[in-house]
Amino acid sequence: MKKIFLILSLSHFFCYSEIEQKVIKSSNDVKKLEATFPLREVLDVDLSQKVRQAEKFVSDAVNFFNSNSIIKSCNVFLNNDNWKIGDLFISVIDENGNCLCHGDDRSLIWKNFQEYKNIDGDPLIQDMLTLGDTGGWIVYLWDNAYRWAYSKVTTKNKKKYIISTGFFPENKEFTVRQLVLSAANDFYVLGAQPTFIEIDNTVGKFIKGDIYLGAVDMEGNIFAHGDNPALVGQNRYDIKDSAGRYIYREMIKVAKERGAGWVEYDRNGVPKRSYVRRIEDPKTKKTYLIFGGYYPTVTADTVIEFVRKAVSHLKTNGMDVAFKDFSNKVGDFAKGSLTIFVYDLEGKNLANGAYPSFVGQNLLSKKDPEGKFVTKMIIEEAQKFEKGWITFTEKNDYQNVYVELVDAPDGKFVVGSGFYPSSKQQFVKAFVESAAVYLRGSPYEEAFRDFTKTKGDFVRGDVRVFVYDEDGNCFVNGSRYSMIWDNFIKAKDQDGNTIIDTIVATGKSGGAWVSYKTRNATRRVYVKGVEKEFDGKPKTFIVGSGYFL
């Protein structure tokens, strides 16, 4: 039974541990590395701080639980604000999977979690129980996003209880290194060839959005490549990026000299950061490196600009030239992971830089793994709003896609491109933009109903939609129905500052970020104003969402 553990030590912050200087020779070395796993701060979310908070939070909760009755413990965890740190809260689950407490969400009390699985498909509760009183980390899907949970097991009256907390990282640096570590672990447990085969699987467990892994030896020979398995067997030692830098030579240098580290280069003119780690086959003594990377500079604004460039190219040069350029794997419309697609209004794919083989096919019936009709959603979004964002599942991740309806001399087309947000900040902003477009073009009853669905498109882990009017009346706050119709214009944060009036003013001015203190942490929300008619009068609704630092 495979588990994912993550323990951070700030004594190794911004540096490599002693183990990282060596060739990894066993799965035990991988586990030692996980125990000293360095993680730098990305944007304004300090994940290392989250990990420290979570581990201390659970340890304190175990001590409180052991010193008090079950009734008092669950009551305090549920109602006392001292047991909430931003998005961290305490859960209590018994050995049979029965939930006794889950933060301040009373709807989950007495729910049985036995059917839930971790990221590897193993029973979640059983995996948590195996962590014992030393504690550990497990990843699982919760509310349409991957949650990292830290748990410890304690015993009261001869019965075991799991005390747990967790968070949703939404961080690509975090994800890349975990995938590389996971592949290194498989290398020693399963062997080189099975690991390379899984890395080559373009829909396998080592693919997450535009993140993929590869394996190369110290001479630059490719043994596995998740983005393009056709490269396997080729030598890439002399391959340069668009700025003239030797990509694989630099990876090999880092692996040889440091054992692991980050390499920065360009891919089709877009900066990319890749993490490399050296490993050694215990049987053949052959040395390899495993690598994986992400695009730190790609944002929602980048995608919008990219699509508008494509629209201009289409209108200026016509569909024959433009569609050919859009479907080319190189050129002005292949920038890092960004490519262009085009559909007609009947669902026929006319250009596709990511999947050229789709060109000419009608994809109206195409579904994502969650059952969404992706092409249909794209066309309906463009026809209804002329431009906007949609979200769907692609390559084991949530992709945000921007589309525009184009009325060109050759006809009407839908042009678009998508990206996988690399931070919580990027994700929340794109999330709010999508919700604002949806509210603007839909009956408010329909939009508000969809915003409050617990399993709907507007729930991604701890990221939910809220809607207030300009007077501070609440219309939506995630799935917290008890807040609807209440007025919060005088509500204050923990520092005594009014919140909603600032959010309203910011949303009405065009949209931006607002920060305030609540639940013993700083919360950042992105808000945007939407003009709608309500009760026979024009009204400004403030749509937003946020996250805790």
pLDDT digits (tens, 9 = 90+) for 72-91: 999 999 999 999 999 999 99
> Could you tell me if 163 and 176 lie in one domain?
no
pLDDT value of position 26 = 56
39 inside domain: no
Residue 10 predicted with pLDDT over 60: no
Q: Among residues 118, 150, 142, 128, which one has the least CA distance to residue 8?
A: 150
Q: What letter does residue 456 receive in the DSSP assignment?
A: S
Structurally, the chain folds into a number of domains equal to 4
190 and 287, same domain (yes or no) = yes
Are residues 179 and 290 both part of a single domain?
Answer: yes
Q: Does 18 score more than 70 pLDDT?
A: no
In this structure, the answer to whether residues 85 and 103 fall within a common structural domain is yes
118 falls in which pLDDT band (50, 70, 90)? Answer: confident
Q: Is 485 helix (H, G, I), strand (E, B) or coil?
A: coil
Separation of alpha carbons 265 and 273, rounded Å: 7
| pLDDT band, very low/low/confident/very high, at 138 (cuts 50, 70, 90) | confident
Residue ending a domain, among 117, 144, 167, is 167
Tens digit of each residue's pLDDT (9 = 90 or more) over 456-480: 778 888 899 999 999 999 999 988 8
Is the CB of residue 525 less than 8 Å from the CB of residue 545?
Answer: yes
With respect to residue 314, please indicate whether it lies within any of the assigned structural domains.
Answer: yes
pLDDT at residue 29 greater than cutoff 70: no
Structural contact between residues 2 and 122, judged by C-beta atoms closer than 8 angstroms: yes
Residues 412 and 432 in one domain: no
Is residue 120 assigned to a domain?
Answer: yes
Instruction: Please report the beta strands in 358-435, taking only residues with DSSP state E, as ranges in sequence order.
Output: 387-394, 397-408, 411-419
Mean pLDDT of 109-131: 88
Burial class (CB within 10 angstroms; exposed 0-12, middle 13-18, buried 19+) of 435: buried
Domain finish residue from 383, 398, 419: 419
Secondary structure class of 369 (helix, strand, coil): coil
| Residues in Cβ contact with 28 at an 8 Å cutoff, skipping those fewer than 6 apart | none
DSSP string of 39-99?
A: ---BTTB-HHHHHHHHHHHHHHHHHHHHHS-HHHHHHHHHH-GGGEETTEE-EEEETTSBE
Whether residues 163 and 217 share a domain: the answer is no
Helix (H) or strand (E) holding 122, with range, is none
Cα 172 → chain centroid: 7
Residue 14 clears pLDDT 70, i.e. is over it: no
DSSP state of 331: S
Q: Are 272 and 264 in contact (CB under 8 A)?
A: yes
Residue 135, SS3 per DSSP: coil
Q: Kindly state the percentage of the chain with pLDDT values over 90.
A: 68
Q: How confident is the model at residue 27 (pLDDT cuts 50, 70, 90)?
A: low
Residues pairing with 217 in the sheet: 288
Q: Write the pLDDT tens digit of every residue in 326-383.
A: 999 889 999 999 999 999 999 999 999 999 999 999 999 999 887 889 999 999 989 9
The answer to whether position 8 is within a domain reads no
Report whether 492 contacts 521 (CB < 8 A).
no
Query: Which residues constitute the domain of residue 433?
Result: 424-548
Q: State whether 356 and 386 are in the same domain.
A: yes
Q: What is the mean pLDDT of residues 254-265?
A: 95
What does the alpha-carbon distance between residue 161 and residue 163 come to, in Å, rounded to a whole number? 6
pLDDT at 15 over 60: no
The answer to whether position 316 is within a domain reads yes
CATH number, domain of 82, equals 3.30.450.20
In a domain, 83, yes or no: yes
Do 438 and 415 touch, CB atoms closer than 8 A? no
Q: Does the model's pTM come out above 0.95?
A: no
Q: Which of 401, 419, 437 is the last residue of a domain?
A: 419
Please give the pLDDT value at position 334. 93
The rounded distance, in Å, linking the Cα atoms of 2 and 499 is 45
Length of the chain, in residues: 549
Please state whether beta strands 270-280 and 159-167 pair in parallel, antiparallel, or not at all (unpaired).
unpaired
Cβ partners under 8 Å of residue 525, min gap 6 = 428, 466, 503, 513, 514, 515, 516, 544, 545, 546
CA distance 218 to 252: 6
Task: Provide the 3-class DSSP secondary structure of residue 278.
Answer: strand
Does residue 430 lie in a domain region? Answer: yes
How many CB atoms within 10 Å of residue 181?
23
Same domain, 130 and 219: no
Return the SS3 of 171.
Answer: coil
Whether the Cβ atoms of residue 34 and residue 164 lie closer than 8 Å to each other: no
Q: Find the DSSP H helices in 296-373.
A: 300-326
Name the strand (E) or helix (H) holding 490. none
